[in-house]
Chains A and B, each alone.
Chain A
Amino acid sequence: MLHIKCPHCGLRSQNEFSYGGDATVKRPELNKEVSDQDWDNFVYLRKSPRGKHLELWQHISGCRQWIKVERDTLTHEIFTTLKANEEI
């Protein structure tokens, strides 16, 4: 069981959160030509790192806000949590 510190609500159980995937993926810019390969990479291709990973989580049963969590995928240690619009 993880305990995640929501930047809005404080320390809460993982039960209240929903995992939202890799937070480092950038959407191709709007109104610009995108190759099929780039679009395919954006939609489907994800890294599966062993170690530090920046992830999106939603505090679905709490404040319902999306947050960023820097977590170690090996030890599950959580280093930092940020609001969705903040950068490390």
Chain B
Amino acid sequence: MTLVSPLQHVHKKGIFGDCEDNNAKNLIKISEVKNLLIFQIVQYKKSNISLKDIKIDELNLNNEAPKVTFNNETRILWISPNNWLLTSKKQELRANINQIFNETDFAITDLSHSRAVIELEGENTKEVLKKGCPFNFNELNKNTCINSVFNGITITIDMMDDSPNKVRLYVLRSFGESLYHSITDACLEFGYKNI
């Protein structure tokens, strides 16, 4: 069976927007992140288990907003109290997750096929996000994440790097194409490169 990615029909490689006078390095790079393992982890209110005892891919669950715990391949995003989004390129984690998280303490939901993931990279990334999102992006630091809205679409933003700015946007799969068009429209004035 062939995997159909959420943005397969809209994301075309090339250079677009106002890019004539722009150095190729200044263009915003847009890519779709595919084959990402995405799990929602929720700790039940009645659970007494200590989070220090739980490690997945050598990472702890951090209940401090809006921190991201991470290593090279896995990132655990704080979504809300006792609620995390685990993203990883390691597909083998899928088998471990149900062993690590006890059914009586955690609700685990596989969201890998129900999210579209767009990655933006470039100096003007925050300027693009400011166009549709009411959050003050001057306060968004490296390795933090937020939930917010972009042109009315609920999104999760993971700030992966700040030199240059690199963010991942997680959105419901069904809203993926709408968000993609909103983002690319907002990128036009800076010029962007789809990769």
Contacts and interface: CB of A to CB of B under 8 A. Distances in A.
B147 A62 contact: yes
A8 B81 contact: yes
A43 B65 CA distance: 36
Nearest to A14: B134
Judged by DSSP, the binding face of A is loop
Given A8-B65, A15-B149, A61 B154 contact: yes
A10 B65 CA distance: 9
Contact of B146 (A15, A60, A62): A62
B148 A61 contact: yes
B65 A13 contact: no
A46 interface: no
B interface residue count range (under 10 / 10 to 19 / 20 to 34 / 35 or more) = 10 to 19
A11 to B, nearest CB: 8
Nearest to B153: A61
A60 B80 CA distance: 11
Contact of B66 (A9, A64, A65): A9
Given A9-B146, A63-B147, A16 B81 contact: no
Interface in A7-60: 8-13, 15-16, 60
B137 interface: no
Contacts of A11: 136
11 contacts: A1-B134, A9-B147, A12-B135, A13-B135, A16-B148, A16-B149, A60-B154, A61-B148, A62-B80, A64-B80, A65-B80
Interface of A: 1, 8-13, 15-16, 60-65
